[in-house]
Amino acid sequence: MNVPFYRHDLTANDATAVAQVLQSPFLTSGNVGRAVEDRLCEYFGTKHALLVNSWTNGAVAALLALDIVPGDEVIVPAQTFIATANVAELIGAKAVFVDVDPATLLMRPDLVRAAVTPRTRAIIPVHLYGQMVDIAALQEVLADRPDIMIIEDAAHCFEGELNGEKPGTRSGCAIFSFYATKNVTCGEGGALVTNDTALYERLLQTRMHGMSAGAIDRFKLGGYRHWDMQRMGMKANLPDLLACLLPSQIDTIDARLPQRDDLFGVYERAFADIPVRLPTTIGNSRHARHLFVMHVPPAIRDEVIQVMGENGVGVTVNYRAVPTVTYYREKYGYTSGLYPVSEEWGAGTISLPLFPSMTRDEQQHVIDAVRSKIVPMIETSLASASR
Ligand SMILES: *Cc1c(COP(=O)(O)O)cnc(C)c1O
């Protein structure tokens, strides 16, 4: 049996939505996307939402909207996808890494506080694997620096909540990804939500070359209107051709979460008695159950991925610690031991298949592969390490 790492839920019905967009004169951003943005405002309870063509481009648009310039600093966790740090470096700012909590793998407010300097302009907490960073706690340690904007990386956390609050409720903005393996996907895409109207106005420009009006709006109100450009921007808008795939998923996302919860619970019970480490689940929160990860001895991690692959199971790594990749290591001269929790977790973590349409048989196949093939490898590794 082959179990892919991820399988999306889109069906032939979604082709109808694409066919409808094909009948409109402009295939790019228009009424379909605007309707999705309204839906996102409703879902997250925010004043504004903007669709973008990726999390990455949305984050760059946000940093441009804040007028972040070379020399400025953006604090990010060491345990995340490289994009979280890359967006700061892309515009010439410095990504400043902080280590994460050993139990939850989430950014620690005390370490953020210690990393703040006069050049700090933004912080990008990551709701890793689907659990929310405590944004209120982060705001508390930054109480004397209201100029620092919190930009939530909510790529894993569309459905997540903490103390009844969703991403984007109290920060500068939250950014989602609709990349191919995310809980809501249109292949490539993303969205920003915010309650900050001044930021929203600037984002409308930085999302579109810094222009004062979008391509479609130029032809409205009878005659052609010239646009102006007041700030540097990029091309980050999502075309209606992709936006049309989102409404059906937003409608069903809450109904699909119990399926993810269920699969998660089955994995947790199946692995309760084997020597692997799992992240701690936070109380008072709704976990978006984006990724099911476990930590195996770093010495055998790559072999574990290989063996799972040979048994027909798609496994990935989310993620090796960002400061350990060549670009950051060479640029900043990082040595091992600077971000011990992220380095250790990143060296041993693997992610197992998890998606709502996964069948009982498929999940049992994954569990059997772990228990019969991986556990003996772990036991051998642990025995030789303790000798
Ligand atoms: C997927 C992901 C991103 C990047 O999203 P894109 O839409 O591919 O740009 C950023 N951060 C995290 C944590 C992610 O998982």
Structure tokens at 322: 């960002």
The Cβ of residue 311 has, within 10 Å, a number of other Cβ atoms equal to: 19
- Under 8 Å between Cβ of 230 and 253: no
Express each pLDDT in 351-386 by its tens digit: 999 999 999 999 999 999 999 999 999 999 999 988
Residues 236-253 have pLDDT tens digits of 999 999 999 999 999 999
Q: Which of 355, 303, 307 is nearest to 5 (CA)?
A: 355
Determine the average pLDDT of the residues in 9-28. 93
SS (H, E, C) 17-67: HHHHHHCCCCCCCCHHHHHHHHHHHHHHCCCEEEEECCHHHHHHHHHHHCC
What pairs with residue 97 in β-bridges?
76
Instruction: Give the residue, out of 107, 127, 177, 235, with the most ligand 1 atoms within 8 A of its beta carbon, to mutate for a pocket test.
Output: 177
Cβ(339) – ligand 1 distance below 6 Å: no
Mean pLDDT of 266-279: 97
Atom of ligand 1 nearest to the CA of 290: 15
Quote the pLDDT of residue 221.
Answer: 61
Please say whether the beta carbons of 172 and 181 come within 8 A.
Answer: no
Strands 73-77 and 120-123: parallel
Number of H helices, E strands in the chain: 14, 11
Q: Give the residue, out of 56, 74, 124, 238, with the most ligand 1 atoms within 8 A of its beta carbon, to mutate for a pocket test.
A: 56
Q: What is the mean pLDDT of the chain?
A: 96
Q: Which two tokens stand for residue 358?
A: 């996964």
Please work out whether the CB of residue 55 comes within 6 Å of at least one atom of ligand 1: yes
The residues, any chain, with a CB within 8 Å of residue 172's CB and separated by 6 or more, are 62, 122, 149, 150, 151, 194, 196, 199
Q: Is the CB of residue 177 below 6 angstroms from any atom belonging to ligand 1?
A: yes
pLDDT-based confidence at residue 222 (cuts at 50, 70, 90): low
Q: Ligand 1 centroid vs 23 CA: distance in angstroms? A: 31
Looking at ligand 1, which residue's alpha carbon is closest to its atom 15?
155
User: Which range is least confidently modeled, 148-162, 209-223, 256-270?
Assistant: 209-223
CA distances from 25 to 21, 28, 30, 57 (A): 9, 9, 10, 26
Of 63, 179, 188, 242, the one to substitute when testing ligand 1's pocket (max ligand atoms within 8 A of C-beta) is: 179
Range with lowest mean pLDDT among 248-252, 262-266, 310-314, 383-387: 383-387
Per-residue model confidence (pLDDT) at position 214: 53
- Name the active-site residue from 94, 182, 220, 331: 182
Over range 43-70, report the average pLDDT: 98
Candidate from 156-170, 213-227, 271-285, 286-300 with smallest mean pLDDT? 213-227
- Mean pLDDT for the stretch of residues 285-310: 98
Confidence band for 226, pLDDT divided at 50, 70 and 90: confident
Q: Averaged over 65-86, what is the pLDDT?
A: 97
Give helix 55-65 / helix 197-206 axis angle, nearest 10°: 120
Ligand 1 near 205 CB (within 6 A): no
Ligand 1 centroid – CA 150 distance (Å): 17
Q: Tell me how far apart the alpha carbons of residues 287 and 183 are, in angstroms, rounded to a whole number.
A: 12
Residue identifier of the C-alpha nearest atom 5 of ligand 1? 55
Q: How far apart are CA 214 and CA 208, in angstroms?
A: 7
101 pLDDT band, cuts 50/70/90, is very high
pLDDT, residue 341, reads 98
Structure tokens at 323: 């400061």
Report whether residue 84 contacts ligand 1, using a CB cutoff of 6 Å: yes
pLDDT at residue 220, as a whole number:
62
Q: Given this model, what pLDDT does residue 126 score?
A: 98
| Residue 273 pLDDT exceeds 80 | yes
- CA atoms of 375 and 369, how far apart (whole Å): 9
C-alpha 311 to ligand 1 mean position (Å):
28
Model pLDDT, residue 218: 58
Whether 277 shows a pLDDT value over 70: the answer reads yes
Give tens-digit pLDDT for 124-157.
Answer: 999 999 999 999 999 999 999 999 999 999 999 9
Active-site annotation holds for 182: yes
* Res 386: pLDDT: 84
Share of the chain above pLDDT 70, in %: 97
Residue 26 confidence (pLDDT) above 90: no
Q: Which two tokens stand for residue 334?
A: 């990082």
> CB burial class (10 A; 0-12, 13-18, 19+) of residue 386?
exposed
